[in-house]
Structure 1
Amino acid sequence: MSALSESISRRLTLGQLKGRYGLTLVPDFAEPVTVTSLVDDLPSVRPGSLYVPADHQVDQGMIEEAESRGAYAALLPTSARQEVGRARIPLLFGTMHAWQMGQLLANAAGDPSGALAVFALVGSQVQDQVDLLADFLHVLGNPVGILSAKGSYSLDRRLDLEYPLSMFDVQRSLSIALEDGAAAVVISVEEQTLARDALQAVDLDVVALGAQEGSTRDMRHVRLISKARRYGFNLGGHTIVARRNEESDGLARQSLPADAESDDLSLCIAMTMAAGVKRNNIRSALRVSREMS
């Protein structure tokens, strides 16, 4: 389901969308119409929806089906104006860049990532490490959500999602996690879990590359920039890029058997330290984890 519905938290009218994003509204007198959900696939359309066709692919039949399902309006690319005839619902036309659509979805959802501590692990083999980091954050006392093709959760509740996740799915899932009481969310940033641009307008607090993503500093930097462009996240502002260091390596080795691989745990420790968790709290969490294992 690619819909931002029950999590939409701010009044959104067609007139606001028209003015904010420079769109054309047909008919113009429909400006006061208020939408209650944002949807990019037809099966998810419900009364009150603004239908935004995925991949900008649209025809007359799709608009008619959206109408029959109760959509209040549709947002279409300018190029579709010649392909779509008369409609019984208002139509918005314009070119929405990915970053603009991300801002629209984040605003409609109440900017959930701004109220969460969001951790992102980037790389082709990070799903297990995402689970490890989520477990570690939980031991530190944080209610945690996970977005991963291996299994997405809002606290202990498994989320029924289809992968890869669109930006609609991500904003909706973050909003659900926040409503459920999560303090942090860990995201697996790779192609099985996320579609292109899925992290537009998602406020990431700590980002780290998985161990398999290159060994030299320059190689890792290039890799991270490439992934930021693909998935639409920002490496500026307050976002911290974390990596293992001598202190995190030492803490990890102290808490594991001598012959155990400690790199993954070390990176988890480094990410929590980057988020401002105190060393004494980390040591206590490591001790609890060791006693529980």
Structure 2
Amino acid sequence: MKLNRRDFLKSSATLTATSALSSCLSSQAESIPAHRWIDQKLCIGCGSCVPVCPMSAIQLKEKAEINPEECAECGVCYRSRVCPQDAIKPGKLRWPRTLREVFSNPLSEHKSTGVMGRGTEGIKTNDTTNRYQAGFIGVFVELGRPVLGTRFREVERVIKKFKAKGYSLLEDNPVAELIFEPETGSLLPEVLEEKAISVLLEFIIPESAGKELLIILQELGKELETVFSVSVALRALPDGSSAFENLFQSGIFTLPNGKVNLGFAQGIAKSKG
């Protein structure tokens, strides 16, 4: 097909404009930081974003800035919409930093489990999963909350401590896919310095190991560089009471709250065992 001069110039101009736009978009994409950031051209230094960060990662100098080392990519600052200038921007995250968002942002879904947030439903669905049965203790170790957050090197310490005693992390826990040495519980080296608001680890141990669990937790209390809390899942005794006091020594500090599965989803509570 022959083109007259006008059509040729028009098509050439279109191609040039398209090429320029493509180059511009490519350049903009390359300039986006690999972490959540605050556009300094838009920020007015009001400081409204500082108190909403659960990791205290936002610092106010003349203008607000996000410390990428402390940011857990939870997105609270962005979702809270406290910035009057819409200066808080998502970064172009790459592995392994993507772990921060997956474990810290409740709107992110773990591909390995299909569960949003920390990637596990814990005891909340035991009516249907029946993971925690009579004669065993479900152990939940939550690292990082409140305030401090946790690095995955601390997560690894917990997994390795339990593994050394013969107890493996549950395979359907989202952290399990990060283990590259099942024999020891070691995590992938590249994830160890990544940070999350909190990480929940799950183990199942026999009821006879109740005292051993206390020893493990006491040792971890001296070794970990972040805060952690522990919950246990126990099947109720035939009379409906809890076996907690029978399994653990008195004098343990416990929080006045708990979760009770009533067995409405399935008849597990009445099943054998």
Q: TM-score, normalised by structure 2?
A: 0.30
Indicate the structure whose relative CO is greater, using CA pairs within 8 Å and at least 6 residues apart.
Answer: 2
Larger radius of gyration: 2
Q: Which has the higher helix share?
A: 1
Q: TM-score, normalised by structure 1?
A: 0.29
